[in-house]
Amino acid sequence: MTKPSNDKAQASPTKQFFVSMLTRDITLADAILDLVDNCLDGALRLADGEAVDYGRYFVKISISADRFLIEDNCGGIPRDVAKNYAFKMGREPEDDRDSESETIGMYGVGMKRAIFKMGRNALVRTRNGEDTFEVPITSEWLDAKNWDPLPINEPTEASENLDEPGTTIHVSDLYEGVARHFANPAFVNEVATAISQHFTMFLQWGFKIELNDQRVAPVHVDVLVSPREDGPAPYVFRKTINDVTVSITVGLNTSRRAEGEDDDDADFSGQRDSATAGWTVLCNDRAVIVGDKSRLTGWGDLPLVPLYHPQFSVITGIIEFRSKDAKKLPVTTTKRALDTSSEIWLESLVKMKEGMRVWISYTNDWKNHPRSDQQSYWQDAQPFSLSRAIEAVASRTTVKKTNVSDASGHASEVVEFNPRKNNVLPKPEEKKPSSKKIVFSRPAEEVRLVSKMLFDDPDEKPGTIGDECFKIQLAKANTKKRGE
């Protein structure tokens, strides 16, 4: 038997330990993306369940060796939210601001973690409606052992007011390693690339993000879709699992060979590797990964799926998970990595590999045939994003649609389309014998001279010229062979 005493064992984390561990497992670039995510969440809250006009909103980021600055016009932080939630180290259970929004935040640490990652002094200034205030996070507060509330200060000068509702975060007294990164143009390019990938959907919808006064353009991840009922189309699958809508499409992308190479005569064995080949995974419109070609997304899961090879650079798969409950998404706290132990991810991976198998077989069928042989089949195909591709394919009469109910009785529609089973993929007219590629180069003027002689046109494609030259020599070789 024991009896309680008046003594208490302290169980709260020390501030130094908490801050150190909070920032250890996130990269500097991902910390910046977290702050942009917060801006987007603000725009979503302003819409209040309606469609968001992303063209109205902007984020401007400035990084240098002595400071970090991010500013937006995405509505700002309401004072009661700042007092009760926004600056806490974690999300309270009663904080249900995003219960009806498809955000990606779960734990309420993004802004604080980003600030702690960068430097020892920060000022958060925000305007919500006509209410403007600022919250400083100082090195003195960081060094203090206790968790005193942060002060909320009122503006005293007109220059401290923001032009429109939004938030600015200024971080100074940067850590030495952070300052070196921010001064490195290669790191700036890395951040720009990460933004263009992670926020590609929002950028395509008009959301403006500037990095050091340069507007970031989106990376386009598309698959080709023919508008014809019997035209070639991607593999499509959509199903709602445990309140998460899973959408998948796998198809051909729009990759092209390197400049100076003859695209028309390229077969699948000689394709240039495409940045968007492989798998792109979206969670609530954020791209968690882009162009993954590893075992993570099923490549190399023998015997069904081989390891990624340049032959497959024309294949792009896109999968998206959508839910109003971000905790159900298969994504980690960094928002740039997958929780591959998630049941919904493992279930989806089965369909991902099914779609990959369709296009792996397709590239095998066409491996020894020039791309020009396929052009007539694909000439009306257009590059579509995931949602547009599924919408276009779902309108076909041959698409399979079934109604199912989950364990809680919620009904949903499953959409499936396998282009191989529906016989809409082009096939070579005949299996060609084993062939070899002939590649050589000659001075441009000599090529033009031969082109003029053969076709009365100096600008015929090099591949066509080479093919005609070979045919001429082959005819001579056959004549000689017959005369022997």
Please give the chain's pLDDT, 484 residues, in tens: 677 777 878 777 777 777 777 788 789 999 999 999 999 989 988 887 788 999 999 999 999 999 999 999 999 999 999 998 888 876 665 655 554 555 555 456 788 899 999 999 999 999 999 999 999 999 999 888 888 899 999 987 777 788 899 999 999 999 999 999 999 999 999 999 999 999 999 999 999 999 999 999 999 999 999 999 999 999 999 999 888 999 999 999 986 433 334 444 455 544 445 778 999 999 999 999 999 999 999 999 988 899 999 899 999 999 999 998 888 999 887 777 888 899 999 999 999 999 999 999 999 998 887 777 888 889 999 999 999 999 999 999 999 999 887 666 677 889 999 999 999 999 887 655 667 778 888 999 999 999 999 888 899 888 889 988 998 998 888 888 887 6
Could you tell me if residue 425 is inside a domain? no
CA distance readout (Å), 173 to 66, 121, 139, 182: 7, 6, 9, 13
Do both 104 and 169 map to the same domain?
Answer: yes
CATH of the domain at 115: 3.30.565.10
Could you tell me if residue 311 is inside a domain? yes
Residue of 107, 114, 95, 90 lying closest to 34 (CA atoms):
114
pLDDT of residue 335: 74
Could you tell me if residue 4 is inside a domain? no
Could you tell me if residue 422 is inside a domain? no
Question: Which two tokens mark 290?
Answer: 């882009």
268 CB-near residues (< 8 Å, 6+ apart): 311, 312, 314, 363, 366, 367, 371
Query: What range defines the domain where residue 385 resides?
Result: 223-417
| Cα angle 437, 438, 440; round to 5 | 140
Phi, psi of 168 (to 5 degrees): -125, 140
Do both 329 and 468 map to the same domain?
Answer: no
Could you tell me if residue 195 is inside a domain? yes
Do both 168 and 240 map to the same domain?
Answer: no
Do both 404 and 471 map to the same domain?
Answer: no
Do both 103 and 247 map to the same domain?
Answer: no
Q: What does the DSSP assignment read for 334-381? A: TSSSB-TT-HHHHHHHHHHHHHHHHHHHHHHHTTTS-GGGGHHHHTT-
Do both 174 and 36 map to the same domain?
Answer: yes
Q: Whole-structure pTM over 0.85, yes or no?
A: no
* Residue recorded with tokens 């998630």: 342
State the DSSP H helix or E strand holding residue 471, giving kind and residue range, or none if neither. Answer: helix 462-483
Do both 292 and 197 map to the same domain?
Answer: no
Count up the domains in the chain and report the number. 3
Do both 167 and 251 map to the same domain?
Answer: no
Distance CA 401, CA 413 (A): 7
377-393 pLDDT, tens digit each: 899 999 999 999 999 99
| Cα angle 473, 475, 479; round to 5 | 115
Could you tell me if residue 433 is inside a domain? no
pLDDT of residue 372: 75
Show which of 215, 239, 273 is a domain's final residue: 215
What is the CA 8 to chain-centroid distance, rounded? 49
pLDDT of residue 437: 77
Do both 359 and 458 map to the same domain?
Answer: no
What is the CA 173 to chain-centroid distance, rounded? 32
142-173 pLDDT, tens digit each: 888 888 899 999 987 777 788 899 999 999 99
Distance CA 2, CA 479 (A): 107
Distance CA 363, CA 386 (A): 21
Show which of 191, 215, 239 is a domain's final residue: 215
Do both 210 and 100 map to the same domain?
Answer: yes
Do both 275 and 355 map to the same domain?
Answer: yes
Could you tell me if residue 423 is inside a domain? no
Could you tell me if residue 151 is inside a domain? yes
Show which of 398, 417, 436 is a domain's final residue: 417
pLDDT of residue 188: 97
Do both 202 and 142 map to the same domain?
Answer: yes
